[in-house]
Structure 1
Amino acid sequence: MTNFTPSEMMTVAAARALKNDDVCFVGIGAPSAACNLARLTHAPDITLIYESGTLGTAPNVLPLSIGDGELCKTALTTVSVPEMFRYWLQGGRITVGFLGGAQLDRFGNINTTVVGDYDNPKVRLPGGGGAPEIAISCGEIFITMKQSLRGFVEKLDFVTSLGHGKGGNDRAAHGVTTRGPTRLITDLAMWEPDPVTKEFTVTSLHPGVTRDQIRETVGWKAKFAEDVGETPAPEALELEVLRDLHARTKAAHEGK
């Protein structure tokens, strides 16, 4: 079996969740790597949309931000941000939103605003950007994050983007009709919300990962599905394409 890192396993597993006919709103960082890996392998016709208004983007290197010129240069077209949000996002034309965050709770609510007290925070984070709208307007949401006690918390310091709220039918009670977070892909496992409680539940462990590792890296009592599988290891082609993408990105950003 080819050697791979936990980050590579997370990115490959996230890429596999995407389909060829998806229209995907892409976040910067891990979501961008996963979406472009999908585009370069099994989903060549996927439509990638970034918050800056670039439609049908096909970057050769991963963008540093939504304002990276690589996005506009490789897009089919670029529209204004108001058009992006009002017509495309709020118009229900985007099937999947890919998000990450600084903090996540068991119901898929995300914090990208502050760590600590809002008025006197320990850390001031980048903020919501378009994530709150993405979280409620896309057909469904995939979340990618590395597991840690700092990131996977019992209670968020601030709710930036709505997941399943307090669980159960709380999301719908707020008048939100989209599905919300349907997958959580981490460096250790695949999680899906319980059909009734909406609490994220481990459905698949990545190769070599134990249940104790899961328990030690989340701030709540982790739950496991009745039948927990093993995530298929990355294939050689997936790793080759992903590593080439990261190598091109590193060279471009270092000016080589």
Structure 2
Amino acid sequence: MEVNAARALAGARTCFVGIGLPSTAANLARRTTEPDLVLIYESGAIGAKPSRLPLSIGDGELADTADAVVSVPEMFNYWLQGGRIDVGFLGAAQLDRHANVNTTLVDRGPGRSPGRLPGAGGAPEIAASCGRVLLVVRHTPRNLVPRLDFVTTIGHGSGPGDRAALGLPGRGPVAVITDLGVLRPDPATAELVLTELHPGVTVERARAATGWPLRTAATVATTPPPTPVELAVLRELKSTAQEER
């Protein structure tokens, strides 16, 4: 999942990076196939080159290694809303069939208060204004749901035309990378369709792990396995992060 998420950044110049899996993938891409990729973090770091995986958007390593650090209002008003960032890379607690995201709260059942999640942060603006958006999420019925408990971030709304009606300038989500495969929005319906599977994963397994009737492309490709270089760099990133902790 992390390797294929890094590969999805091929050709990108600038990437607005979320913490967690998106940050792992973006840093892996910068250390392998995309050495000129400019990593941008919500806290204002532009061109961050962390020596380890950052613990949060406020990790001092990001500011220490950045080409520039700007204020949060400048980051959003000038860089993000100004259309100056190619790719937004986000995670999700819940994701629906039109790539809308919930990172706010989850329903824990009758008689229980909702479970609180980290919240929106900059994700709604990232999904609205970046040229395109990549999402990375674990592929389980708990994460890929028929209906979000809370809509934090608009992906493709309820279908084609919703983004334009809301005045959202970016293309929105173009791929969802999971630990089972890759889903992409159907051009006609904007519904996520299974287009690729990781080696050893079957369509049946992916469908069983999805909270809605998952459609597949006419031909479902198999993603190439990770290369020795990709694995070595990924392991180095993770081992360094563990040592820091």
TM-score range with shorter-chain normalisation?
over 0.9
Can you list the C-alpha shifts for 1:83-111, whole angstroms capped at 9, x where unaligned? 00001000100000000111000100000
Correspondence list, 1:18-97, <5 A: 18-97=9-88
TM-score (norm 1): 0.92
Spell out, residue by residue over 1:125-181, the C-alpha distance to the aligned partner (whole angstroms, 9 max, x if none). 111010010010100000000111111100001110000000122221212231000
Offset at residue 21 of structure 1 (A): 4.4
**Is contact 2:12–2:86 with CA below 8 Å preserved after alignment?**
no
User: Separation in 2 of the partners of 1:240 and 1:21?
Assistant: 23
**Using the alignment, how far apart are the partners of 1:121 and 1:227 within structure 2?**
43
Say whether the 8 Å CA contact 2:12–2:87 is kept in structure 1.
no
Q: Which amino acid counterpart does residue 18 of structure 1 have in structure 2?
A: L
Which of 210, 213, 220 is residue 221 of structure 1 equivalent to?
Answer: 213
List, as ranges, runs of 4+ consecutive aligned residues in structure 1 with deviation greater than 3 Å. none
Seq. identity, %: 56
Q: Deviations over 1:173-197 (max 9, x none)?
A: 2122310000100000011100010
**Structure 2 contact 28–233 (Cα < 8 Å) conserved:** yes
Counterpart position of 1:198:
190
Q: Which runs of 5+ in 1 are unaligned?
A: 1-9
Q: For residues 149 and 56 of structure 1, what CA distance do their matches in structure 2 show?
A: 36
Match of 1:125 among 99, 104, 117: 117
Using the size of structure 2 for normalisation, the TM-score is 0.96
Task: Output the aligned Cα RMSD.
Answer: 1.1
**1:177 partnered with 2:169:** yes
How far apart are 1:32 and its partner, in Å?
0.2
Shifted more, 133-142 versus 12-21: the winner is 12-21
Give the match's secondary structure for 1:57. coil
Contact (CA 8 Å) 1:113, 1:160: kept in 2 or not? yes
CA contact (8 A) 2:175 2:184 kept: yes
Question: What code does the residue aligned with 2:31 have?
Answer: L
In 1, the alpha carbon distance for the partners of 2:193 and 2:38 equals 29
- Name the structure 1 match of 2:228: 236
1:161 maps to 2:168: no
Residue in structure 1 matched with residue 105 of structure 2 by the alignment: 114
- Distance in 1 (CA, whole Å) between partners of 2:113 and 2:75 is 32
* Distance of 1:159 and 1:47 partners within structure 2: 29
Is contact 1:20-1:44 (8 Å) kept?
no
Q: Distance in 1 between matches of 2:113 and 2:133?
A: 28
Q: Which amino acid aligns with 1:114?
A: L
